[in-house]
Chain A
Amino acid sequence: MKKENFKRGAKDGIPIALGYFAVSFTFGMMAVAGGLSIGQAVLISLTNLTSAGQFAGLDIILAGGSCWEMVLTQLIINLRYCLMSFSLSQKFEKNMKNRHRFVTAFGVTDEIFGISASQKGRISPYYNYGAMCVAIPGWTLGTLAGAISGNLLPDFMMSALSVAIYGMFMAIIIPPSKTNRAILAVVTGAMAFSGLFSVLPVLKEVSSGFVIIIVTLVTAGAAAWLRPVQEEEGVKVES
């Protein structure tokens, strides 16, 4: 079982690694262009494993900001992971050992959370380990490649690879939307809501990390209130 879960996770991690490579390539490039060493750029990717947080952190490093500024920025941008971990905590096998919690926590990213959440029923930490074993090298090696090359991947490659992650997300959210009207409403509602944040004057100023948190809380909250789900032997069905 462990091996199967690990393999499944590794397979689902492939599109994640592809998308990561393009993004972290840019990160590596920007870090070195800003004056960091190749090793430092790679160290940031290896220890942080987060895109928006790293780009924001790099800005602060290059601007020579204070540590408090760094703490606050990371907290705001990455607070969505808190919500994801909270959700995953209910999704992992019951009585999962603490050591698994400490290790899987490191791999809570938008994408790995996405694939874990899309699995049926409870999940084994080995599924996450599989995904992490593919995604983390993708993220780290992308940074290394970008830092060494110092040049952008050809534009057409960057463009094409950067939609990989969104394609994956859609593969997760669209199929259940076909049969569950409540999920369909949540998906379209959340998209419309976050769309508003990108066009309306005042809302436009809100950072992308906060937009995700606000939209998730409001949309999922409204859906839970209007359409509570009933549970039947671990399989959730529409009420």
Chain B
Amino acid sequence: MSPDIYVYIAVMAVVTYLIRVLPLVLARKEITSPFLKSFLFYVPYACLAAMTFPAILTATSSVISAVAGLITALVTAYLEKSMITVALCACAAVFVAERLLQLAGCL
């Protein structure tokens, strides 16, 4: 027999929380190694870049609208607009691109 749904939920929640909390509580000391420090400095950029591309290409209904969103986000981010502006511009670009695709009968 498979476990109760609430057992599954508890297992999921506990494992996920432990992964998040252990490094925060155990790795309290300030790191002095220049390599590790540099590594941690680069981690967010590497991580966010890896999560963004190529995942963004399959996030929408069509690769074309995804590329429109990607380019819009690139340009607005390059112009150093705020996070919410970049996010909304990308959403708007996808929306417009998909309407156009629909009009053209491609979607």
> Which A residues are closer than 8 A to B by beta carbons?
11-12, 14-15, 18-19, 36, 40, 43-44, 47-50, 53-54, 57, 60-61, 64-67, 70-71, 74-75, 78-90, 92, 94, 98, 101-102, 104-106, 108, 110, 113-115, 117-118, 155-156, 159-178, 182-183, 186-191, 193-195, 198, 208, 211-212, 215-216, 219-221, 223-225, 227-229, 231, 236
Contact = CB atoms under 8 A, between A and B. Distances in A.
19 contacts: A44-B9, A47-B12, A48-B12, A54-B12, A70-B11, A74-B15, A86-B40, A89-B27, A92-B24, A101-B24, A101-B25, A101-B28, A114-B48, A159-B60, A164-B87, A219-B49, A223-B46, A224-B41, A224-B42
A163 B94 contact: yes
Contacts, number: 304
B84 A15 contact: yes
B47 A171 contact: no
Interface in B26-84: 27-28, 30-31, 34-56, 59-61, 65-66, 69-70, 72-74, 76-78, 80-84
Contacts of B13: 44, 47-48
Contacts of A114: 44, 48
Where chain B touches its partner, the secondary structure class is helix
A60 B3 CA distance: 11
Give the top 9 A-B pairs by smallest Cβ distance, nearest first: A64-B2, A167-B90, A117-B44, A224-B38, A174-B77, A105-B21, A190-B49, A47-B13, A171-B86
A5 B40 CA distance: 23
A194 B40 contact: no
A106 B35 contact: no
Contact of A19 (B44, B50, B87): B87
Given A61-B5, A67-B11, A86-B27, A229 B38 contact: yes
A148 B23 CA distance: 37
B85 to A, nearest CB: 8
B19 A78 contact: yes
Contacts of B92: 160
Contacts of A88: 24
B54 A47 contact: no
Contact of A159 (B6, B11, B89, B94): B94
Given A67-B7, A82-B19, A110-B51, A44 B44 contact: no
A181 to B, nearest CB: 12
Contacts of B59: 159, 162-163, 166
A156 B23 contact: no
Contacts of B94: 159-160, 163
